[in-house]
Amino acid sequence: MNKGIQKDLIKEIFLIISSFLVGGIVMLALIQFTPLVNTILGSKNNLIVTKNETEVYEKSSLAASVKKIYDAVVVVQGYRNGSMENSGTGFIYKVDNKYGYLLTNEHVISDSDRISILLETEEEIDAELLGKDEYLDLAVLRIDKKKVTLVASIGSSEKMNLGDTVFTVGSPLGANYRGSVTSGVLSGKDRKVSINVSSTSNNDWIMRVLQIDASINPGNSGGPLLNVNGEVIGICSLKLVDDDIEGMGFAIPIEYAMNHVDSLENGKKIKWPVLGINMINASDTSGLIKHNIKISTKITEGVVVTEVKDGSSASNSSLKKGDIIIKIDDVKVKDIAYLRYELYQHQAGDQIEVTYIRNDKEKTTKITLKE
């Protein structure tokens, strides 16, 4: 081979090797001393990467969504006569020029004479109660805007599908476990669950709720239920507790809460329509005896009228003592809780049709509702 050609070939090989070496050194310097790529961990399908100071999480992680809500979630603590009686969770859903506004469950603060908020900074401050309602199981609180660092984004439960991923942020068992995150799926929509509103009655109200299998415990009440985008789609409210039951929690749909939030913010009492009757369940044998009312033993569901109050909504109808209400607007009424639920879908001034049984015959009457 010509010596000149051989020299040129050696030069080219040297230049190629030198280029690779220099390139490698430059790349190592970039990795070591610039924020281009700080960390790469995991396998092909589960990467945690920090690139230009923006975190990209593993494919199945909810971490980015949790960040969107985490600092908007607080611990709500209810005090009475100087002692803490109850604790739960709340979240900041809006701010104005002076205040931050929080939603929580009514049962968290129902008997409190002082309410405090434990912020994500561990600072404890007093909160002002603006409005509450036991049937909605909602309460609105407010704090100084200066204490707000993040406001939750409101989503839509109506757009959710069964099996969609959901998660919660709350304070199960109190402040020691504040900020706990649990996840699961949306197990059911439009569930109707019987609960006690009055301490002197049993299962006197029906709540229409979302069913979830994400773990919730005492202290999660009032906290947000969220979709994978970190948007609030519900408010955690209750769970079924039994040795044979696992993973059945329930949340108030966010749309239902937001429909009433303006009234609660302004301290307005929610005005529910009333029939103006005293009543007992058809299954209440002792109650029937007490009121000297006899009904067919074949009737096991429905609501029995024990009194029609003068001047009430029902006073202008054909209802009277001993009638058994079985439907409102063609919707079956199983007991007092179901009657109240269907009634509260209406407003004062609405006219409803009530179907009832008298002397084993089915009849109907129209009633215009009053507050």
Q: Which of 20-24, 253-257, 278-282, 319-323 has the lowest mean pLDDT?
A: 20-24
Supply the pLDDT for residue 46: 43
The mean pLDDT value of the chain amounts to 86
pTM (two decimals): 0.76
> Distance between CA 68 and CA 66 in Å, rounded?
5
Supply the pLDDT for residue 38: 42
Supply the pLDDT for residue 50: 45
- If you average pLDDT over residues 305-326, what whole number do you get? 95
> Distance between CA 125 and CA 252 in Å, rounded?
27
Supply the pLDDT for residue 47: 44
pLDDT tens digits along 72-87: 999 999 999 999 999 9
Supply the pLDDT for residue 37: 39
Supply the pLDDT for residue 362: 95
Residue 32 has pLDDT above 80, yes or no: no
Residue 244 has pLDDT above 90, yes or no: no
Q: Which fold has domain 66-147?
A: Thrombin, subunit H (2.40.10)
Supply the pLDDT for residue 308: 95
Domain segments of the chain as ranges? 3-61, 66-147, 156-256, 277-368
At 274, list the tokens: 């009333």
> Within a 10 A sphere around the Cβ of 187, how many other Cβ atoms?
18
Supply the pLDDT for residue 58: 61
- If you average pLDDT over residues 349-358, what whole number do you get? 95
- If you average pLDDT over residues 129-136, what whole number do you get? 93
Which CATH number is correct for 277-368, 3.10.150.10, 2.30.42.10, 1.10.3720.10, 3.10.270.10? 2.30.42.10
pLDDT tens digits along 162-180: 999 999 999 998 899 999 9
pLDDT range class, residue 236, cuts 50, 70, 90: very high
First to last CA, the chain: 109
Supply the pLDDT for residue 235: 97
- Those residues whose C-beta lies under 8 Å from the C-beta of residue 238, and which sit 6 or more positions away, are 193, 195, 207, 209, 221, 249, 250
Architecture of domain 156-256: Beta Barrel (2.40)
Identity of the residue numbered 335: D
Same fold, 66-147 and 277-368: no
Are residues 127 and 147 in contact, defined by beta-carbon separation less than 8 angstroms? Answer: no
- Those residues whose C-beta lies under 8 Å from the C-beta of residue 59, and which sit 6 or more positions away, are 45, 46, 47
> Could you list the active site residues?
107, 137, 221
- Those residues whose C-beta lies under 8 Å from the C-beta of residue 134, and which sit 6 or more positions away, are 106, 107, 110, 197
pLDDT tens digits along 35-73: 443 443 333 444 444 444 556 556 678 999 999 999 999
